[in-house]
Amino acid sequence: MRSRRISLARFERPLSVRGGIASPGFFQVLQVRPALGRLIEDRDMPRGANTVALVTDRFWRRTLGGDPGAVGRTLALDGRAFTVIGVLPADVYIPDIRFVDVWKPLTASIDNVERTPSVNTSL
């Protein structure tokens, strides 16, 4: 599990939201059940299948208008299209992680690293 700022380009101007990455087991260990849709699963980990997003209740209400139809919609996160697969419950407690708005599969982060140009740091 890790978090960082990501860019959400769904509206007139991009929003900066707090993003987290997690493996499927992360939410299972915490015994979290989604309020809507589903959680990140093993099937979301392979390349090509890892373009899914799990959103918090706060993000769902504030940014997506609390619309149950938001599950299945596409969000542009850091220039890539992600499908909203679920909404976390409002009362979910995740230790040491505050204010994460959008969760992506762990492997989605690896794809971002591979798309970033390398920098030569040799002296």
Give the 3-state DSSP-derived string for 100-116, with helices as H, strands as E and coil as C: CCEEEEHHHHHHHHHHC
Structure tokens that stand for 15 in this block:
């929003």
Work out the pLDDT band at 16, boundaries 50, 70, 90: confident
Q: Which of the residue ranges 29-43, 61-75, 94-108 would you say has the lowest mean pLDDT?
A: 94-108
The answer to the question of residue 99 being in a domain is yes
The answer to the question of residue 11 being in a domain is yes
What pLDDT sits at residue 85?
97
What pLDDT sits at residue 96?
65
The answer to the question of residue 18 being in a domain is yes
The answer to the question of residue 119 being in a domain is no
Work out the pLDDT band at 47, boundaries 50, 70, 90: confident
Backbone phi, psi, residue 41, to 5°: -125, 170
The answer to the question of residue 123 being in a domain is no
* Domain span holding position 29: 2-113
Work out the pLDDT band at 110, boundaries 50, 70, 90: low
**Burial class of residue 80 (count of CB atoms within 10 Å of its CB; 0-12, 13-18, 19+):** middle
What pLDDT sits at residue 36?
97
Strand partners, 99: none
Q: Does the structure show a pLDDT above 90 at 123? A: no
Domain count, the chain: 1
The mean per-residue pLDDT over the stretch 76-99 comes to 85
Residue bearing the bigger pLDDT, 18 or 114: 18
